[in-house]
Amino acid sequence: MMHHSAFKQGSLNGLCGPYGIANALSLLFPGRLSLQDAGALAHGVAHSLPCGFHTVLSEGTDRQQMERMLAAALDWTRARGWPGWTYKAAHPASGLTAEEFWGRLAADLTPGTAALIGFGDHDRSDTPYEPHWTCIESITDAAIHLRDSDEYDVVLRSATAVRPESGWEIEDCFLLAQDRAAGAGSEGL
């Protein structure tokens, strides 16, 4: 897989969610999102939240806010005449292990799809991992390769967890897909 540069959030720490969306769309539609448009999209979806842009900037986003931002991103792309796309929740199920989660997600990441992952806290404080939204570029047997807006490029699968496992907690997942039906683009897959 050819690696393209990720859109970066810079020092705007709370914007990993909006920039994760921009990076996911850049995987779905290669070459369609310029650096300027990625910034406009990220700021636009952050402004779509009732809590306000400055709250997103300082506190980041949760699952419900990501759902609202994905809907705003869908509206943003529709208004610009992009091809249709859809999204659905694919959060880790209770009782699933991290290895099982990554195995299932790897099978879902076919051409024309992208995944947004919301990582939570690591169960230890002496790690470089902190709550963060990121976009999955590919998954191998050992690692997750990211198109990330911050500093993470590759994360070992063994460093991640679905609670009660120990590791960087996989809290949320949204699967985005190009819409195969002409003219559609609703949120359900």
pLDDT at 189 over 80: no
Amino acid at 10: G
Burial class (CB in 10 A: 0-12, 13-18, 19+), 24: buried
Give the C-alpha separation, 73 to 82, whole Å: 11
Which amino acid is residue 169, in one-letter code? Answer: E
User: Which has the higher per-residue pLDDT, 29 or 9?
Assistant: 29
Alpha carbons 180 and 136: distance in angstroms, whole number: 21
**Strand, helix or coil at 161?**
strand
Pairing of strands 160-161, 168-178: parallel
Cα separation of 51 and 114, whole Å? 27
Cβ neighbours of residue 146 under 8 Å, at least 6 residues apart?
A: 6, 134, 135, 136, 137, 152, 153, 154, 155
Cis upstream peptide for 83 (omega within 30°) = no
Percentage of residues in the chain with pLDDT exceeding 70?
Answer: 88
What digits encode the pLDDT tens for the residues 133-150? Answer: 999 999 999 999 999 988
Q: Indicate if the pLDDT at residue 188 is higher than 80.
A: no
pLDDT tens for 74-132 read 999 999 999 999 999 999 999 999 999 999 999 999 999 999 999 999 999 999 899 99
Q: What is the DSSP letter of 90?
A: -
Of 8-22, 131-145, 149-163, 170-184, which range is least confident?
Answer: 8-22
Is residue 49 pLDDT above 50, yes or no? yes
| Helix axes 16-28 and 63-79, enclosed angle (nearest 10) | 50
Q: In 3D, which of 94, 59, 110, 101 has the Cα closest to residue 164?
A: 94
3-state secondary structure of 89: strand
